């Protein structure tokens, strides 16, 4: 009986995702990145990262129906590397539902691609007050693992709490995988290729005196960082390194 219950818990989120309605999609079928949806980040990265983000087509572009974020080894405004980062702040927000991204990760030590979200109050209240949902992170020094995480503050907005789990990347003929979360007022569940691997109980973020930060809208961020606190030493032989996004789909 316990086995049957466990199998139901694993299968039921996937079954629920099949009953959802597609309400928005970014298929990257145009000639250029749609600035009605996306903002370009420009400048140095955080967390001791080594890249300088630009909006140049050599760093971020649409190519054959794919968003391509390309990290390059080149001197640019005091940095030795360049890359790309975009976000949907003030243009596209998400609250609850299934967010699904099909992507191909770059290879090589020092790469740090991420698909993640911050609360819409980021610019007003700062971090970590806004909360963070990491749909997918990967570091090249651990090539077989992907990571999903939730970050949220204590009531003082200083101490940071986290809930994270790693999962071995399944085999794939073309190296593309589908990364997804399913989010409602109770939980945030993580999937890779429709296989569940992590779940966060939103009640864990409850703090008396404030609204739960995971019951408000978030915006989406996609970037390719280099080096820094987590990705570590960069292998200069890997460049150019490319992070490909096939599509983003949002279901409710």
User: In this structure, what token pair is assigned to residue 35?
Assistant: 């600035």
User: In this structure, what token pair is assigned to residue 189?
Assistant: 């569940």
Integer Cα distance of 191 and 218 in angstroms: 19
132 has catalytic annotation:
yes
Considering the candidates 49, 120, 137, 182, report the single residue annotated as catalytic. 137
- Cα angle 228-66-252, degrees, rounded to a multiple of 5: 90
How deeply is 233 buried, as exposed, middle or buried, from its count of CB atoms within 10 A (0-12, 13-18, 19+)? Answer: exposed
Integer Cα distance of 57 and 84 in angstroms: 9
User: In this structure, what token pair is assigned to residue 96?
Assistant: 């609850």
Considering the candidates 26, 132, 154, 185, report the single residue annotated as catalytic. 132
Integer Cα distance of 153 and 151 in angstroms: 7
Phi then psi for residue 238, to 5 deg, are -90, -10
Tell which residue, 120, 130, 233, 117, has the closest CA to residue 179: 117
Which residues are the active-site residues?
Answer: 132, 137
């Amino acid at each position: 009986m316990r086995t049957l219950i466990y199998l139901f818990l694993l299968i039921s989120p996937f079954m629920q995702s099949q009953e959802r309605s597609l309400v928005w999609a970014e298929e990257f079928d145009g000639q250029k990145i749609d600035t009605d949806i996306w903002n370009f980040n420009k400048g140095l990265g955080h967390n001791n990262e080594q890249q300088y983000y630009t909006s140049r087509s050599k760093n971020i572009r649409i190519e054959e129906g794919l968003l391509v974020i390309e990290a390059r080894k080149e001197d640019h405004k005091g940095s030795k590397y360049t890359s790309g980062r975009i976000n949907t702040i003030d243009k596209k927000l998400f609250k609850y539902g299934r967010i699904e991204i099909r992507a191909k990760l770059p290879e090589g030590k020092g790469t740090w691609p991420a698909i993640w979200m911050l609360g819409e109050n980021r610019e007003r209240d700062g971090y970590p007050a806004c909360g963070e949902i990491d749909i997918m992170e990967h570091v090249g020094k651990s090539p077989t693992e992907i990571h999903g995480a939730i970050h949220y503050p204590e009531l003082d907005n200083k101490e940071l709490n986290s809930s994270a789990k790693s999962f071995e990347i399944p085999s794939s003929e073309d190296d593309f995988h589908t990364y997804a979360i399913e989010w409602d007022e109770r939980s945030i569940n993580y999937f890779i290729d429709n296989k569940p691997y992590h779940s966060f109980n939103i009640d864990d973020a409850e703090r008396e005196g404030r609204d739960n930060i995971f019951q408000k809208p978030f915006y989406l961020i996609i970037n390719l960082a280099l080096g820094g606190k987590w990705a570590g030493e960069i292998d200069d032989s890997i460049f150019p390194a490319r992070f490909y996004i096939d599509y983003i789909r949002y279901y409710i």
